[in-house]
Amino acid sequence: MTGKPLRVAAIGECMVELSQTDGNCHLSFGGDSLNTAVYMARSGTAVDYITVLGDDPYSDTMLQTWSDEGVGTRLIRREAGRLPGLYAINTDARGERSFYYWRDNSPARELLTGKHKKQLETSLLEFDVLYFSGISLSILDEAQRESLFDILGKARQRNITIAFDPNYRPVGWSSPETAKQWIYRAYGLCTLALPTLDDEQLLDPDISAEQLAKNLLALDIPEIVIKMGASGCLVKTAQTEQIIPVPAAVTPVDTTAAGDSFNAAYLSARLRGKNVREAAITAHRLAAVVIQHRGAIVPESAMP
């Protein structure tokens, strides 16, 4: 990666978010790849969000909010008569979350259908970096996943950076085996892997960070960053393997978007020419701030 300004496309779904605090529900918007896009924009990275919305007031508010954050919205398609998905977050006393979804009819599930597939392919191949997650994959049917992989294959041939966070959520998949099959195909196309160890252990309970790094390096992924929560992260490339600890321990209030914000800060730092250690420390610092606030997107005044 270089220090020159580069353009990033973040692919996925944003939903209406309901979070409960003291018995009351707070309405906002969230989605893993969108969270990363917002934090990248706040870090000064040129980033566009790629999704499909409806023509409803909630979609209007999403677009305005993202634009105000500096996230590009020119490639977001809107479908008449449709509504975005909805999810609710329940957070326990330790800051851990449970999610409940109403998203079966979300227009984002039709991202790569019909004539839109070719149009989106042309647009995506003009970016320098493509970012997506396992959730981005899980909302698509098999034909659309194949279309996305076809685009990613062409992107890799053009030396476009492909960053992937598996972000495994069981509710989005028919089975762990199906999820693992698609996730590992995505690993085979990416150039920067950003898994979370806890997620990977849902698919393989016995796997360690070191073994996961070894497995992924065998897939010819040039750069691997395994997030390990309070234990820091393991970075592995062909030249180095190092555990980079968190700068300071913090008590989480809400772990929503911890990994999303880490990914944003890490990728933004690498695109500015920082080395892997500098990028990881920057990412740890942002994630530490995020988990001390409720909700996915913290106030901009709280940014480190």
Tens-digit pLDDT profile for residues 108-118: 999 999 999 99
Active-site pick, 165, 199, 254, 260: 260
Residue 23 reports pLDDT greater than 80: no
Largest CA distance in the chain: 52
> Cα separation of 78 and 80, whole Å?
7
Residue type (1 letter), 178: T
Total domain count, the chain = 1
Closest CA relative to residue 233, chosen from 285, 184, 186, 272: 285
Tell me phi and psi for residue 139, to 5 degrees. -80, -10
Residues 6+ apart with CB under 8 A from 13: 31, 33, 34, 51, 84, 85, 103, 106, 108, 109, 135, 136, 139
Which residue range(s) make up the domain with 248?
Answer: 7-298
The string of pLDDT tens digits covering residues 148-174 is: 999 999 999 999 999 999 999 999 999
Containing 200, the helix (H) or strand (E) segment is: helix 197-203
- Kind and range of the H or E element at 161? strand 161-165
Token output for 162: 């492909």
In a domain, 250, yes or no: yes
- CATH classification of the domain holding 237: 3.40.1190.20
Token digits for 238? Answer: 């062909």
1 in a structural domain: no
In a domain, 214, yes or no: yes
How many CA within 13 A on the CB side of residue 195? 32
Q: What is the pLDDT of residue 21?
A: 67
Q: Which two tokens stand for residue 248?
A: 């300071």
Q: Known catalytic residue: 128?
A: no
- pLDDT 10s digits, 51-79: 999 999 999 999 999 999 999 999 999 99
Residues making up the chain, counted from first to last? 304
* Sheet containing 86-91: order of strands: 24-30, 15-21, 86-91, 97-102
- Examine residue 177 and state whether it is found in any structural domain, yes or no: yes
**How do residues 29-49 score in pLDDT, each as one tens digit?**
989 999 999 999 999 999 999
Burial per residue of 188-219, b for 16 or more beta-carbon CB atoms within 10 angstroms, e otherwise: bbbbbbbbbbebbeebeeeeebeebbebbbee
Is residue 161 included in any domain, yes or no?
Answer: yes
Residue 45 domain flag: yes
Average pLDDT along the chain: 93
Helix (H) or strand (E) holding 150: helix 142-157
- Give the pLDDT confidence score for residue 145 in this predicted structure: 98
* Lowest-pLDDT range of 22-26, 39-43, 45-49, 281-285: 22-26
In a domain, 2, yes or no: no
